[in-house]
Chain A
Amino acid sequence: MAPSRVILHLDLDAFFCAVEEIKDPGLRGKAFAVGGSPSGRGVVTSCSYPARKMGVRSAMPAAKALQLCPNLILVSRNHRDYGHYSHLVMDRLRSFTDRIEQISIDEAFLDISELGRSPKEVGSQLQRTIREELDLPNSIGIASNKLVAKIATDVGKMAAGGEGPPNAITIVPEGEERAFLAPLPVDMLWGVGPKTKARLEILGIQTIGDLAAYPDIELARKFGKHGYDLARRSKGIDNSPLSTERGVKSVSNERTFPEDLGRKSELLEHIIRLSRQVSGRLRKKNLRGKTIQIKLRWSDFTTLTRQTTLSNSTNEFAVIQEAAAELLDQVWEEGRRVRLIGVGVHNLDTNAHQLGLWDPGAQKDIKLQETLRELREKYGENVISRGLNT
């Protein structure tokens, strides 16, 4: 039996909007959203609480958001600022404990088991620190594992109501995980997307409690390994450790177009750009990956991903770009229009990789990469890039 843990989940409330409010206090209390464009293209990345009251949600097409909330102010994204504030938050969290797993720009898990203080005390202090020192509202969930802690945060946020950010703290004492989850809708559980939800509904399962009461063996029979995981999660069991070091599992960039694109050559240009960004991010983190993936969303919102695995890991722009372009070739349908394209590299490893006997000029290439890196460090990312013979 593993010793019991205390895991804290912190989620910044409407993070991008909160940052925009810091930059322009005039936005406070107004219905506004980050992302999209006034012409109604693109999607809402984040929306303020007054906008949420009007039904606006993140990932909603801007056009629909404007329909729901005609006064909606659209603010363009400033990723550099969000990155900056995210860093500040994570630094504050690290001053509490180094047992931290950042899961996205605005979310992190902390293992506070060994702090020797009551979870409530730690949670309140942490929330206050981020709110007062950085002016960023945030919600916290605390439980004996990551799964329940994250759901606790979500539950706290939903229960808050009111005009402003929730600033919720929800604590699930050890032993009460199952009871806490039982009344919640089943799709609040990790691994239950729309498809699984529909299949569960057929079995008469609506709440996490229904799922927990369903025989494990039947779930395993119907859903395989996934069913076994679901059975455990529905009972609030989750032993997954914090990945304190290897936070990054993949690096990807995507782009939603202002207007749907119908020409392959245009998409290839975007693939070049996205591949260059992904390659740059991998190099900066000193990572390489073996699996190259593209994501494509057609104009009717159907989305597909295709991936290919290389024999050796890479972070080179040309290799990523070539693999991504090949994948696009495989799925391309002439006459269809594309709303979004993304390029990602998965299956990441540190920069260590096996050199090949017949790599054409393998050593020359390493030398070149090193020189390029030095140049970029000195003069910036855009100082040099590969020409393309297209």
Chain B
Amino acid sequence: MKISVLQENLAHGLSIVSRAVSPRSTLPVLSNILVATDDGRLRLSATNLEMGITCWIGAKIEEEGSTTVPARTFSDLVSTIPPAKTDISLHEPTQTLNIKCGSLNTDIKCIDAQEFPPMPSPDLEAGIEINVTDFKEMIKQVVFAASHDEARPILTGVLVTVEDNILTLAAADGFRLSVRTAQLSSPAPAPVKAVIPARALSELARISNDGSEVITMALPPERGQVIFRTKDIELTSQLIEGTFPDYQQIIPKEYLTRTILSTESFLKSCKQAEIFAREGSLIAQVNIRPGPEENSPGEVEISGQSEETGSSQAIMDATIEGEDIIIAFNVRYLREVLDVIQTPNVALETSKPTSPGVIRPVGDDNFLHVIMPMHLGS
């Protein structure tokens, strides 16, 4: 292999794929990045066997070839060299990669590319095309609700369903549920139902900004994998096996109180309450008081306190329809959902202090979030 590549391109490619490197694997080759010439470009790939990321960068190829380079050494080195042309060549028999740039001349010991887990190129024909900007926002609106508890692996994933031209993402950690839908520009060839690790989707949202407008999602039959592909990037992830719990049944069908608040001031009040509540049990008490007469504005008081640090109360104007209620939520859950709502106003629907609350962006039916309250005891 003999190639030359611009340092900027190489550094960019390495930053994208290195998130899939498993630094402490028992398989040494998994700590390496596959570097291979591929159809006039240079391919960089890393995998931890659960998730793999590939990035293609422009390069001048004089001689085809491939090897795997220790990720840490490679990245650290490339980040120190000046933005200029870098010449890379592989001495096949010893698997030594020589890198020359300006006055620098380095040899890195590599592992034969044969040992790298095969990353078969998928059939993207049957894939579903999704707008990148939309998909990134969808991911952001659900992944935070996924569980980190490995005891229930299924909840560490995001349920992705496609029916006709409706794409739905749903995540729940047992205490809250986030559901986001979007319309596809064209109907999917076949319905999809798969649970994708939340981590893989977070990674995807982070790296898919290569200027592509669409991302292709493919689920090759019987492989237990999902593949996302943009112009220069491909992310492959194992699916999580098992049945995602039926979330439709836990979305309340009705409410007794509907409170409309400014998203910004609701979020700010939650952040203030959290400063105190985080020292204790993270409880924010939400006291919803309708106005004295019908149609007169009501108010919402959000308070957080801790024995050590003190307490905070914030009162906001609100449009309230229905009865007054005092309900307690984990303030972090409130803050996390309000953080991903884009509309200026948000609706909180509640029934009883022990029944789930629903949060919806006002004027946008594509998102909803269900939070179980905290029981304050007696």
Roughly how many angstroms separate A373 CA and B378 CA in the complex, as a whole number?
10
Contact B377 A356 (CB under 8 A): no
Interface string of B132-145 (1 = CB under 8 A from A): 00000000000000
Roughly how many angstroms separate A288 CA and B373 CA in the complex, as a whole number?
17
- Please name all residues of chain B whose beta carbon is closer than 8 Å to the beta carbon of A222 when the two chains form the complex: none
Among A286, A311, A350, A357, point to the contact of B177 (Cβ < 8 A).
Answer: A357
Roughly how many angstroms separate A351 CA and B374 CA in the complex, as a whole number?
10
Among A352, A356, A363, point to the contact of B283 (Cβ < 8 A).
Answer: A352
Number of interface residues of A (CB under 8 A): 20
8 Å CB interface, A178-219 against B: none
Contact A357 B281 (CB under 8 A): no
Contact A286 B174 (CB under 8 A): no
- Please name all residues of chain A whose beta carbon is closer than 8 Å to the beta carbon of B376 when the two chains form the complex: 351-352
Interface string of A136-164 (1 = CB under 8 A from B): 00000000000000000000000000000
- Please name all residues of chain A whose beta carbon is closer than 8 Å to the beta carbon of B176 when the two chains form the complex: 357
Quick one: which of B245, B374, B377 has the most chain A CB within 10 A?
B377
With contact pairs A362-B354, A363-B354 given, residues A354 and B330 touching in the complex (Cβ less than 8 Å)? yes
With contact pairs A245-B307, A358-B245 given, residues A353 and B250 touching in the complex (Cβ less than 8 Å)? no
- Please name all residues of chain B whose beta carbon is closer than 8 Å to the beta carbon of A21 when the two chains form the complex: none
Minimum distance in angstroms from A373 CB to a CB of chain B? 7
Contact A349 B174 (CB under 8 A): no
Contact B373 A355 (CB under 8 A): yes
Contact A351 B377 (CB under 8 A): yes
B370 within 8 A of A: yes
Contact B354 A357 (CB under 8 A): no
Quick one: which of A286, A356, A373 has the most chain B CB within 10 A?
A356
A370 within 8 A of B: yes
B356 within 8 A of A: yes
**How many CB-defined contacts (below 8 Å) exist between A and B?**
59
B210 within 8 A of A: no
Roughly how many angstroms separate A356 CA and B147 CA in the complex, as a whole number?
13
B372 within 8 A of A: yes
Roughly how many angstroms separate A246 CA and B376 CA in the complex, as a whole number?
17
Contact A357 B250 (CB under 8 A): yes
- Please name all residues of chain B whose beta carbon is closer than 8 Å to the beta carbon of A388 when the two chains form the complex: none
Interface string of A284-323 (1 = CB under 8 A from B): 0010100000000000000000000001000000000000
- Please name all residues of chain A whose beta carbon is closer than 8 Å to the beta carbon of B373 when the two chains form the complex: 355
Contact B354 A349 (CB under 8 A): no
A366 within 8 A of B: yes
- Please name all residues of chain A whose beta carbon is closer than 8 Å to the beta carbon of B281 when the two chains form the complex: 349-350, 352
B149 within 8 A of A: yes
- Please name all residues of chain A whose beta carbon is closer than 8 Å to the beta carbon of B378 when the two chains form the complex: 286, 351, 370, 373
Interface string of B354-378 (1 = CB under 8 A from A): 1110000000000000101111111
8 Å CB interface, A323-355 against B: 349-355
- Please name all residues of chain A whose beta carbon is closer than 8 Å to the beta carbon of B177 when the two chains form the complex: 357
Closest to B282 in A: A354
B29 within 8 A of A: no
In the complex, given contacts A351-B375, A355-B373, what are 8 additional A-B residue pairs having Cβ atoms less than 8 angstroms apart?
A245-B307, A354-B330, A355-B175, A355-B372, A357-B174, A357-B372, A358-B250, A362-B354
Chain A residues in the interface with B (C-beta under 8 A): 245-246, 286, 288, 311, 349-358, 362-363, 366, 370, 373
Query: 8 shortest A-B CB distances, which residue pairs?
Result: A351-B377, A355-B372, A352-B376, A363-B354, A357-B250, A354-B374, A356-B174, A352-B281
